[in-house]
Structure 1
Amino acid sequence: MGLAQSACTYVLDNTRNYRRKRRRHSGGWQLSSTEEDDSDSDSKIYASKRMRLMTTSQYIYKALFQEGKNHDVTLVIFGKEWNLHKIYLCQSPYFASMFSGSWKESDQSVIQIEILDSNINFDSLNTVLGSLYQDELIIQPSEVVSLLATAALLQLDAVISKCCEVMTQTVNIKTVIRYYESSKSYGVSAVEKACLEWLLVNLLCYVPETPDRLREISVDLMELLVTSQNLCVVQTEFSLYVLLKFWLYLKFHPNWEGSAQDGITCAHNYFKEQGSESEVEFLLRDVGNPYLKAFRGLRLASLIGHPQDVDMILGDRIIPASLLLPVFRMQWYRMLQTDQGYDKGPRNLTEIEFNQHSLRCGRVLGASRHQMWRWTGFHFGLDLVLTYERGSLKLRRNHRTENEMALSQQTRRNLMFRLTIYGLDEQRMVRYTQTTGIQSTTLGKNEEICLITLEKEELPLFLSANFLVASPLTPGASEIEDKLGLTV
């Protein structure tokens, strides 16, 4: 008994700090703490040790590129020297051609290179040259244009591809114009396409909020946007005219700063004053002629659908009145044809005809799940009311008796339409699109049809619509287009 007690006391004294002993568990015995420590010690002794060593790529980059050990050529660019190695430089077709023997530099150990491209700088050169000595390249969006320019000079397709990948993922209000101009300079069509897609959706509803970006849009780019059939014209064609006027004002006032609303007011006052000082409209003057093609895509017939719009256009004296008068004449004749029942509306026009003559309009579908509206203007006796509810967009030919004298009395009217829905991400890049394509329909009085049912309903969404409610006529159109290049 005493011996057992003595042994027990010994065990307790030697395990006081661990407070654990061998215990029976349902599955067997558990090691005591002392036995566990011995086992852990053995495992630590024989366990594999992982240490981060300098990789071969890192060593090559440090020793050969940064320190220039055993270099056989020195590049002098921007007054800086790079001690490099022809065998690495020849990964670039630019240097491979230089060292092939046909260039005078092929036998030189020190080579001076003059850089004419302002987008290329010391940092971009250092980064791209360094990429020839390692297997990774970190590209920051703020530096990507310079890296693209440098990679294009050195003809490094892999680097160009990575730059394009970064650029197409980071198109936003701050980068879009610079990215677009770079895409044209260096022939990267994927970036050009991404920038155009962004601008076509955001030109009217977002870009004017940043006047500096609007000012940066070149005449050629603005012409491309305005004439595009994919331009999302929020509100009506007159909204596009107002934007062009604001853009024109910014071009002549490079230091102007302020809000979009203030700028639109300043532009209105400026052109009103300009018009009073000259009998020649702005686009016919030498100072305005360079901007002529930017107005080429305006659909003049859609500009004169409301008396207040007409008053402002004539008062601005930007578009010559002599070119608007034939459009008034044609619209009057189309109205008579519709009123007398000769024209029951368009059917089966070609895509080119539809894109040229259809009314462009649009709207932001906000947070409300139920919305109803009509676009203002003259629609040849049709009162078209649109309703958005529960993911469906419906069109109704509204024909109320109190407005009967102003509405078409034809029992049924033909019309053509195309609707496109856009969903944007936080950078306002298109993440979702759905379109009806060009369609024809016939509406009776007070008849309603469903135009489109959304596959996704993540508001806000952007609606771009084209409607054609009267058959197009083009007498005299060629004469107008020859004079000014504007679309009737």
Structure 2
Amino acid sequence: MFSGAWRETTMNTIELQMPDKNIDREALHEAFGSLYGDAVLIPPSRVISILATASMLQLEELIQQCGEVMKETVSAQTVCGYYYSAENYGLESVRTMCLEWLLDNLMTQRNEELLREVSQDLMKELIASSELLVIEVEMDVYTTLKKWMFLQLQPAWRGPRRALLPDADAWFARHRRELEGAPFLDTEQGRAFVPVFQQLRLAYIICDLPSARIIDQDSLIPATWLTPVYKEQWLALLRAEQTRELGPAEVCVSSFQGSSMRCGGQLRRDEQCSWRWAGFNFGWDLVVCYTNRRIIFRRSALNKSCGLGVSLLWQRKVAFRLRLASLDKAGRAVFRKDTEYQMLSLRKDQELEIVNLEGQDVVFPMYITCNFLYLPPEGHCQE
């Protein structure tokens, strides 16, 4: 180009049009320099630009080096940028790692900047996943989505963290009044968010009265979504009460992943405690206990009432999976333990050890998250 019969031969300055906005002059300098040196220093702040340049020039070693830097520096500040870049430039292992980080941290880190950066497609994938580490119950997933949607619509919002949810509620309430009560997801502004909110597992929200009231009051979700769910849950309750169904006969992984109840909690320190999740499967009296580094499921039929007669069935069956995770300050998992998908059958006051952590290098605080499926799905289960 510089010595042949080309226009550039006689030009003092040559302007190159880069096909990728992530490529800049400094990144080109680093990429070309890598051809003449054994090592390239890649700061996390520059890794995306250098990766884009290396991908354009097909410098495989530099691409892999960028991938390693990204894996070592995933955090709330970098994860979304890394995820989108890994998708664009074909680093599947980095994409998988970022997705796992987000599934672990979306609900555990109250970070409005992180919520701003999560795209609609990425949020849809996260909310649809049974791997999502849910703190408390499905209603908390809805609350997170409400804050996320507000930040997507009002990216300039700046305020104290405690004001985010009240400000979001006030903003949606004002729109509700202006639109004379029309559900927000039915409006022009709201339609873009429909695919994300459709991933909510509404059956586990409407079974709790305070949560059902909030859903109705917010009027984000159209009644046409909720009415069939109320009908399904009412019929499921009647089946459980009047046919004395004990629960699923086998673990159907496809149904489990798509429709199981997601719930979780945090063990702040290594001390005995127990809890139950509100609204769990028509008041099943299942108590989760942590004691002596063991996690135990216990039926406590003679304990305080859960409010529904089905809890008095002599035997109950449930499909479940339990996962444990400890995260460092950057949100990376430093301890993880999962059970397989299992069937559990408990009689009144019976208990069963689910996980034994004796002799393992457990790090506290530790998150415990469970997936439960009590009632069998309608129709035949296909894996």
TM-score by length of 1: 0.72
What residue number does 2:259 align with?
357
Deviations 1:198-226 (A, max 9, x none): 000000110xx321221111000000100
Identical counterparts, % of pairs: 34
Q: Distance in 2 between matches of 1:403 and 1:144?
A: 56
* Counterpart pick for 2:46 among 140, 143, 164: 143
Deviation for aligned residue 1:291: 1.1
State the alpha-carbon separation in 1 of the partners of residues 329 and 156 from structure 2: 30
After superposition, the Cα gap between the structure-2 partners of 1:439 and 1:378, relative to the gap in structure 1 and judged at 3 Å, is closer
- State the partner residue of 2:364: 459
Measure the CA separation in 1 of the matches of 2:94 and 2:247: 41
Secondary structure of residue in 2 paired with 1:377 = coil
**Rg larger for:** 1
Q: Tell me the equivalent position of 2:351.
A: 448
Q: 1:365 Cα deviation (Å)? A: 1.5
In structure 1, runs of 5+ residues without a counterpart are 1-71, 75-98, 475-488
Matched residue, 1:390: 292
Instruction: Tell which has more relative contact order, 1 or 2 (C-alpha 8 A, sep 6+).
Output: 2
- 1:257 deviates by 1.3
Give 2:376's aligned residue: 471
* Equivalent in 78, 87, 106 of residue 175 of structure 1: 78
Candidates 234, 237, 240, aligned match of 1:338: 240
- Aligned to 1:403, the other structure's residue is in SS state coil
C-alpha distance 364-381 of structure 1, shift in aligned 2 (>3 A): closer
State the superposition RMSD in angstroms.
2.2
Confirm or deny that 1:133 pairs with 2:36: yes
Q: Counterparts of 1:363-382 in structure 2 under 5 Å?
A: 363-382=265-284
User: Residue 236 of structure 1 is aligned with which of 137, 141, 162?
Assistant: 137
1:105–1:112 CA distance, 2 compared to 1 (3 A): farther
Task: Evaluate the alpha carbon distance shift between residue 310 and residue 130 of structure 1 in structure 2; reply closer, same or farther with a 3 A threshold.
Answer: same
What is the deviation of 1:315?
1.2
The Cα of 1:197 is off from its aligned counterpart by 0.7
The alignment status of 1:200 with 2:103, answered yes or no, reads yes
* Equivalent residue letter for 1:357: S
Distance 1:401 1:146 in 2: 60
**C-alpha distance in 1 between matches for 2:307 and 2:81:** 53
Query: Over residues 390-420 of structure 1, what are the superposed CA-to-partner deviations in whole Å (9 max), with x where a residue is unaligned?
Result: 2211111111266387342221111111011
- 2:171 alignment partner AA: Y
Cα distance, 1:292–1:401 mapped onto 2, change above 3 Å: closer
Per-residue CA deviation, residues 22-74 of structure 1 (Å, 9 max, x unaligned), is xxxxxxxxxxxxxxxxxxxxxxxxxxxxxxxxxxxxxxxxxxxxxxxxxx959
Instruction: Tell me the residue number matched to 1:479.
Output: none
Letter in 2 for 1:240: V
Supply the AA of the counterpart residue of 2:374. V
Equivalent of 2:90 in 182, 187, 190: 187
Q: 1:390 to 1:73 in 2, by over 3 A?
A: farther
Mapped to 2, the partners of 1:402 and 1:376 lie a distance apart of 13
How many residue pairs were aligned?
Answer: 373
